[in-house]
Amino acid sequence: MNRKNFLKKGVLGIGSIIAIPSMISSCNKDDDFDPTACVTSPEETAGPFPIKTPAELVKENIVGDRTGVPLMMTFTIQNTNDNCSVIAGALVDVWHCDAQGNYSEYSGQQDGDFTNQNFLRGRQTTDANGNASFISIYPGWYPGRTPHIHVEVKSSTGNSLLITQISFPEDISSTVYGTSAYNDNGDADTNNSNDGIVSAANLADTVTGNTTDGYTLSKVIKVAG
């Protein structure tokens, strides 16, 4: 799915604001990471809410029944063992919280028990250009964390190559969090520079769009494939 069609139609043509079907372990921040170099992307914790059954969640649209500003995410996977050539056939798992900071598949959330739900989680296989895309919503925030998404890259046979997290430009998050879908919660209480988990260098490569049409995110993730 390309960016032009996504921004024109929102998520599957439903529109801009949509509604469709301290447990965290610490990790050293790699603030000296150079995203332009052919070196492995920062490795970060899977967090307390990783996907339990990713093989059962093969889907491009991971929104489920959640409400939020549309977000299309495209990840390009490159192999540092082969001069950062792209990897076709890699498995890409993503998961993130909803607009109010809740993760599916777990209890003890901001708003209760979501053990039997599977929103905002999914798996895709990279194409010939090393790309995997997901239709989602812009994640909300919860206390102690900057807004972020989790990504795990696996080989075609399922071996884990990298677990990482990706953060967002703070000015865009501030704009999104002023909309009604996010209950006007205001800015996150933690920003990219003091998060303590996601590397300050692991910001999304690009995030473009607006709260009416939705946003698109792109990120190159480099693994030792």
pLDDT band at 1 (very low <50, low <70, confident <90, very high): low
Query: What contacts 49, CB < 8 A, 6 or more positions away?
Result: 95, 97, 103, 105, 106
CATH code for the domain of 163:
2.60.130.10
Average pLDDT, the chain: 88
Q: Taking every pair of C-alpha atoms in the chain, what is the biggest distance, in angstroms?
A: 46
Q: Is residue 208 part of a domain?
A: yes
18 pLDDT exceeds 70?
Answer: no
Q: How many residues does the chain have?
A: 225
Q: How far apart are CA 177 and CA 137, in angstroms?
A: 12
Residue 77's pLDDT is: 98
218 pLDDT exceeds 60?
Answer: yes
* Residue reference for tokens 């303590």: 196
Q: How far apart are CA 21 and CA 215, in angstroms?
A: 19
Domain that includes residue 105, residue range: 3-21+41-223
Q: How far apart are CA 162 and CA 154, in angstroms?
A: 7
Percent of the chain with pLDDT over 90: 77
Q: By the 8 A CB rule, do 8 and 214 touch?
A: no
Q: Is residue 27 part of a domain?
A: no
For residue 75, what is the DSSP state?
E
Q: Is residue 28 part of a domain?
A: no
Q: What is the pLDDT of residues 46-61, one digit of tens each?
A: 989 999 999 999 999 9
Q: What is the pLDDT of residues 115-158, one digit of tens each?
A: 999 999 999 999 999 999 999 999 999 999 999 999 999 999 99
* Residue reference for tokens 């809410």: 49
Q: Is residue 26 part of a domain?
A: no
Q: Residue 76: helix, strand or coil by DSSP? A: strand
Residue 71's pLDDT is: 98
Q: Is residue 145 part of a domain?
A: yes
Q: How far apart are CA 11 and CA 172, in angstroms?
A: 19
Residue 33's pLDDT is: 66
For residue 60, which of 52, 71, 50, 49 has the smallest C-alpha distance?
Answer: 71
Q: How far apart are CA 207 and CA 185, in angstroms?
A: 21
Domains in the chain, number: 1
Mean pLDDT of 69-88: 98
Q: Is residue 35 part of a domain?
A: no
Q: Is residue 187 part of a domain?
A: yes
26 pLDDT exceeds 80?
Answer: no
Q: What is the pLDDT of residues 164-205, one digit of tens each?
A: 999 999 999 999 999 999 987 789 999 999 999 998 779 999
What residue type is assigned to position 31 of the chain?
A: D
Q: Is residue 139 part of a domain?
A: yes
Q: How far apart are CA 183 and CA 122, in angstroms?
A: 25
